[in-house]
Chain A
């Protein structure tokens, strides 16, 4: 009796010892990301929150606490930050409708059992693997004053003299949007193709028997069947486009006159070593912008989450 109890106690302590040992070993395996989470993610975020209440440019003697002044300036007198979001939404509004409809049409065409469809798919996806900085460089060359696009347009007689694409806001935005669509439309072709494979073939067959045209089939069968996936794709491209950064830095550097800065590219150009022109950036003000940006993106991500769980629940 006593012996058995001892044996039980031994095995219980053995099991709990094993449990402790597994817990310890698990913590060893996740040690680096766990330390990194607190030291290199959470602490830096708290740091930006703290300094957003200061006038601070890296020089200790010029540092002082100013409460909400940075935020008040940002929202009431200096409208730079508003304009940045305006530009960013402008990019999204120009890019997303065009890119998604192009991708959807291509995906529909590719799913028609065309010969070489996987070849076309690989070609369309190709620009997505290239560095966005290099894409900026390529389009900067193509749309340069003496570049290929101007030369071809001249030759074809569409224009009389060269267009200085980067001299006005409208043409700069057009080039940025074009380069950005070229960069990412292939990803959306892939997403749409995945969505289309889930549409039952029988629907098309019976519609064909009823004499429906292809265009009608697209609007009455394909679109309604993929609308839920479409929402996810839409939100993915919104989040992606709002974060647009490298391509603007390389193509226009925010020019002309800072009119093509997106939120992220402005923050990079004004406050990051290697990009900024000053050695004493007004970090306090930058931190305030950074804080509001973090909140804006969290809101977008939150909206995305609400939407995507709603979509999942419907299935």
Chain B
């Protein structure tokens, strides 16, 4: 009897915290079906008095808020970011796990040390200078170019650990059969990395889809290159924010959906990324 009461109390706490957790999302989702007047006047009720798809239609038609272009920008920015993250970290992780080369330990230590450096952000200016010298204008493309030269140390750690757990006979046999060191990576190791690359892929998908500050900096002068998040925030910061809540909320729901769907299906990959966060510190 006492045990049941205890269990009921636990359940009550868990349910109420879960309710508080999902409440803001449910409220925003349902509010995106309210008319703009109702968003401002009927905010005490989470359900719309009159369900309307008007907001989604006007988001699709709006000229100032070109959702299809922003959606496309977000998609290609995210996909290329994921491809870069997977390629760079798997190649480097393999090299640090199986390669023998001078300064290996030093380079790995340098890369790791970088993890503990948080600059105030002003180091963006010399990066701009280098990009300008390479004839690259500030744009999403230039940002992706910069990502190509990033040091994804947490992901390198993940891949290195994974490769070290694979039997070394695998790639030795391949190399005896005449495969080069790099050839053994592409033919033997890379296919085996699928589970860890799925984790890295989904984490970098989430990070780049959600990215706000860097895309804003790189598209500051070019509204045509705005990603969804950048576009939403610029609409929110514009003077007419109050008049545009319907557009902002519908845009928010559209921006949230891909990540939420991915979380629904790939729950465990998101959570296994926690280990990565723990390494990163």
Q: Which residues of B contact A236 (CB under 8 A)?
A: 277-278, 281
B25-44: which residues lie under 8 A (CB-CB) from chain A?
25, 27-28, 31, 40-41, 43-44
Q: Is B60 an interface position by the 8 A CB rule?
A: no
Q: Which of A40, A146, A298 gathers most chain B CB within 10 Å?
A: A40
Question: Quick one: given A131-B210, A154-B44, are A26 and B95 in contact (CB under 8 Å)?
Answer: yes
Q: Does B81 contact A (CB under 8 A)?
A: no
B233 touches A137 (CB 8 A): yes
Q: Which of B10, B14, B119 contacts A48 (CB 8 A)?
A: B119
**Interface contact B130-A40, CB-CB below 8 Å:** yes
Q: Does A147 contact B (CB under 8 A)?
A: yes
Whether B24 contacts A271 by the Cβ 8 Å rule is no
Q: How far is the CA of A186 from the CA of B180 in the complex (A)?
A: 45
Render B110-147 as a binary contact track against A, CB cut-off 8 A, 1 for contact.
11001111111111111100100000001000000010
- Is A182 an interface position by the 8 A CB rule? yes
> Which residues in A have their C-beta under 8 angstroms from that of B197?
none
Determine if A122 and B267 form an interchain contact, defined as CB atoms under 8 angstroms apart. Answer: yes
Set of chain A residues within 8 Å of B259, measured between Cβ atoms = 129-131
A301 to B7, CA, bound (A): 41
> Nearest chain B CB to A201's CB is how many angstroms away?
17
Bin chain A's interface residue count: 35 or more
In this assembly, does B247 line the interface, its C-beta being within 8 Å of a C-beta of chain A? Answer: no
Query: Chain A's nearest CB lies how many Å from the CB of B190?
Result: 12
Residue of B17, B119, B150, B211 touching A293 (CB-CB under 8 A)? B119
Instruction: Assess whether A124 is interfacial by the CB under 8 Å rule.
Output: yes
* Interface status of B194 (Cβ within 8 A of chain A): no
State how many angstroms separate the Cβ of B47 from the closest Cβ of chain A.
12
By a CB distance below 8 angstroms, the chain A residues around B130 are 39-40, 43
Q: Which residues of A contact B121 (CB under 8 A)?
A: 264, 267-268, 271-272, 290
Chain A residue at minimal CB-CB distance from B100: A22
Q: A225 within 8 Å of B by Cβ? A: no
B212 touches A133 (CB 8 A): yes
Evaluate contact between B95 and A30: CB separation under 8 angstroms. yes
Q: Are A290 and B91 neighbours in the complex by a CB distance under 8 Å?
A: no
A291 to B94 alpha-carbon distance, docked (Å): 34
Contact pick for A132, options B117, B210, B281, CB 8 Å: B210
Judged by a CB distance under 8 angstroms, whether B46 is at the interface is yes
A45 at the interface (CB under 8 A from B): yes
Is A21's CB within 8 Å of the partner chain B? yes
Which B residue's beta carbon lies closest to that of A187? B274
B65 interfacial contact with A, CB 8 Å: no
**Across-interface contacts of B181 in A (CB, < 8 A):** 21-22, 25-26
In the complex, B195 has a CB within 8 A of chain A: no
B180-A138 in contact (CB<8A): no
B100: contacting residue among A23, A32, A129, A249, CB under 8 A? A23
- Cβ of A109 under 8 Å from chain B: yes
What size tier do the contact residues of chain B reach?
35 or more
What is the CA–CA distance of A105 and B212 in the complex, to the nearest angstrom?
A: 33
Chain A residues, Cβ within 8 Å of B206: 129
Residues of B near A102 (CB, < 8 A) are: 17
Q: By the criterion CB–CB under 8 Å, are B263 and A129 in contact? A: yes
Asked whether any CB of chain A lies closer than 8 Å to the CB of B182, the reply is yes
A26 to B103, CA, bound (A): 11
Among A35, A187, A294, A302, which residue has the most Cβ atoms of chain B within 10 A? A294
Interfacial chain A residues near B5, Cβ < 8 Å: none
- Asked if B101 and A26 make an inter-chain contact with CB atoms under 8 angstroms apart, the answer reads yes
Find chain B residues with CB under 8 A from A249 CB.
213
Given the complex of chains A and B, what is the CA–CA distance between A187 and B10 in angstroms?
20
Q: Which residues of A in the span 49-70 have a Cβ within 8 Å of any Cβ on B?
A: none
The contact sample of 16 A-B pairs, CB cut-off 8 A, is: A23-B99, A23-B101, A29-B95, A45-B123, A47-B126, A124-B18, A131-B211, A133-B210, A134-B255, A141-B245, A154-B44, A214-B6, A246-B213, A272-B213, A274-B217, A275-B217
**Residues of B near any A CB (own CB < 8 A):** 6-7, 10-11, 13-14, 17-18, 20-22, 24-25, 27-28, 31, 40-41, 43-44, 46, 88, 91-92, 94-96, 99-102, 104, 107, 110-111, 114-127, 130, 138, 146, 148-152, 156, 180-182, 185, 206, 209-213, 216-221, 229, 232-233, 236-237, 245, 248-249, 252, 255-256, 259-260, 262-263, 267, 270-271, 274, 277-278, 281
Those 4 A-B pairs whose CB atoms lie nearest each other, nearest first: A36-B149, A26-B99, A274-B220, A290-B120
Q: Please name 19 further chain A to chain B contacts, defined as beta carbons within 8 Å, in addition to the given A30-B95, A33-B156, sorted by A numbering.
A: A19-B100, A21-B180, A22-B99, A30-B107, A35-B149, A44-B123, A48-B123, A105-B13, A124-B18, A124-B21, A126-B22, A130-B259, A133-B212, A137-B236, A141-B245, A182-B20, A235-B281, A246-B212, A294-B118
Which residues on A are within 8 Å of B, measured CB to CB? 19, 21-23, 25-30, 32-37, 39-41, 43-45, 47-48, 102, 105-106, 109-110, 112, 114, 120, 122-134, 137-142, 144, 146-148, 150-152, 154-155, 182, 186-187, 190-191, 214, 232, 235-236, 239, 243, 245-246, 249-250, 253, 263-264, 267-268, 271-275, 283, 286-287, 289-291, 293-294, 297-298, 301-302, 304-305, 308
